Amino acid sequence: MGVVIRAFRFALDPTPVQAAELRSHCGAQRYAFNWGLALVTAVMNQRTAEASYGIPETELTPSVSWSAYGLRKLWNQAKNTIAPWWGENSKEAYASGVANLATALSNWNASRTGARRGPKVRFPRFKGKRQAISCRFTTGSFGLVDGDRRHVRLPRIGTVRTHESTRKLARHVERGTARIRSATVSYRGGRWFCSFSVEIDRTDPPPTRPASVVGVDLGVKSLAVLSTGEVIANPRHLEVALCELRRLQRQAARRTGPDRRTRQRPSRRWLRTQARITTLHTAVANARRDGLHKLSTRLVRTHGTVVVEDLNVAGMLRNRRLARHVAGLGMGEFRRQLEYKAGWADSRVHLADRWYPSSKTCSACGAVKTKLRLSERIYHCDQCGLALDRDLNAARNLARLVNEATGGMSSPSCGATRNEPDGNPRQTHTVWATGTATGRPDPPRSGQRRHRKVTTA
C-alpha cells in the first residue's frame, strides 16, 4: 500500500499540574485564534465601510494576510503588548491557533467562490470557553519515550503518563516504519487525549477471498444484512443507554445547575451527575465506533469487492422520526471507514446508485415491483414465487450489480459465520436472515415491535 497518514490516539493520565498546563496550552490556542479572527473581521469591516464612502481601492486600509505564516508574523509583533504572559505556554500553542484560523478562512473562501465542494462553510466564529479544547504541536520535542510504552513526550509539558499502552505506535517507531508529524492534545468526555498524526508504511495482506463480492444492505432493524445471509444485528447502544440517561437527567434536574441570569454556580452534586452523563455518552460512542470498525475491517479483509448503497444519510437525518435511529447507527461513518480501509487492503468498494431499486427488485428473476411497503419484511415475488427476507433480497441485488458488470460468478455461499445466542446487547453478533438455509426454524417474530426500515428504494 505504501505510505499512509494515520492517527494514533492515546488516553492520558496527567498529574494535576500537567493537566493545568494542558488546559493552559489549549486556552492559549483559543486566545490566538480569537485574536486573529477579531483582527481579520475588524480590517474587513473597516475596508467595507471605507469603500462605501467612495475611497479609492488603493487608499483603503491595507488588508491583512490570511495565511498561517502571515498571521503568525502579526501575532509575534503584537504578542508582547496584548499577551505579555505568552511565555507561559509553548509558542506552538499560538502558532496552531492562527494556523487553524488560516485553514478556517481559506475553507470559507473556497466554499464561497465554489472551489470547495460539499455543504457551505460558514465564516469562522469565535471559540467559546465551553467548546471542545485542543492544542497541536508540530515542532519541538514530542513523541514516544524510547523503551517505555506508558509515556508520551510533549513540548514544555514534558513526559505524560498514558492511560493505555503505546505499543501499537511504538512497534512502528522501533521498526522505522513510522514518522510522527504532529501531536494534538484534546479534552473529550472528561479525559485528556494525545493524538499523533503519523506517516506509516503499511503492508496489508490482500483480502482472503479476492474474487468474492458481498452486498451490504444497511438498515435500522438490523445494522446490516450481507448477501451471504449473515445478519449483523443493530446493537442499539443508544436505546440501551437511554434508560440510564433518563435517570441521570432526572437526577440532574433535582440538583442545582448553573443559571446565567442569577449567576448561580452549579452545585458539586450537579457537576457529579453531569460527569456521569458525559461518561455514558462516551461509552455509547465508543461502543458504536468499535462495532463499526470491526465490521468494516472484516468486510474489506475478506471480500475483494464490497457493494453498499449510496444512502442519503444527511437527508434521512432531517426526518424527525428516523433521525435518532439513523444517527445511532453511524451509516455515514461506516461508509467512510469502508472506503479508506479498502484502499489499505486492496479491496474495492462499489457504491450502488442512490436510486437503484435494491429492495424492489427480485434477486432471483430480476422482476421489479412498483410498490413495496416498509412493513413488508418478506419479499414475495409475483413472477417466480420467491419468498426471501427483504433485506437479504436487497443485499443480493447489490452483490449482483457488480457481478453483472464484471461478468464474475456470484458467491452466495456463506463463509465462516458463527451462530451465537443473544448475549450482551451491546455486542455485535451474527444471526441468519429468514429464507437462508440454516436447517433451523425461523425465530419467533410475532409480538416483536416493528422498526422502520430505511431504504430509499
Which parts of this chain interact with Zn ion (CB under 5 A)?
Answer: 362, 364-365, 367, 381, 383-384, 386
Nearer CB in complex with Zn ion: 174/382: 382
Burial class (CB in 10 A: 0-12, 13-18, 19+), 438: middle
For 185, phi and psi rounded to 5 degrees?
Answer: -100, 140
Q: How far apart are CA 296 and CA 311, in angstroms?
A: 17
The CA angle 183-187-193, to the nearest 5 degrees, is 45
Smallest separation, CB 368 to Zn ion (Å): 10
Nearer CB in complex with Zn ion: 383/419: 383
Nearer CB in complex with Zn ion: 302/393: 393
Q: H-helix or E-strand containing 5?
A: strand 2-11
CB 432 within 8 A of CB 443: no
Smallest separation, CB 386 to Zn ion (Å): 5
CB 94 within 8 A of CB 47: no
Nearer CB in complex with Zn ion: 73/377: 377
Smallest separation, CB 400 to Zn ion (Å): 13
Active-site choice (21, 92, 309, 389) = 309
Q: H-helix or E-strand containing 370?
A: none
The C-alpha cell at 127 is 471559540
Name the residue among 349, 329, 351 with its Cα closest to residue 341: 349
The C-alpha cell at 402 is 457488480
Nearer CB in complex with Zn ion: 31/379: 379
Active-site choice (21, 230, 389, 391) = 391
For residues 143-164, one letter each, b for 16 or more C-beta atoms within 10 angstroms of the residue's C-beta and e for the rest, the string is: bbbeeeebbbbbbbbeebebee
Smallest separation, CB 435 to Zn ion (Å): 13
Nearer CB in complex with Zn ion: 134/397: 397
Residue 309 designated active-site: yes
Residue 13 designated active-site: no
Q: Return the percent helix, strand and coil in the chain, to nearest 5.
A: 40, 20, 40
Smallest separation, CB 385 to Zn ion (Å): 7
Smallest separation, CB 371 to Zn ion (Å): 16
DSSP 262: T
Active-site choice (21, 217, 230, 389) = 217
Strand order in the sheet with 178-188: 2-11, 191-202, 178-188, 133-137
Nearer CB in complex with Zn ion: 347/361: 361
Name the residue among 191, 192, 119, 100 with its Cα closest to residue 152: 192
CB 334 within 8 A of CB 327: no
Name the residue among 414, 433, 236 with its Cα closest to residue 326: 236
Residue 217 designated active-site: yes
Catalytic residue ranges? 217, 309, 391
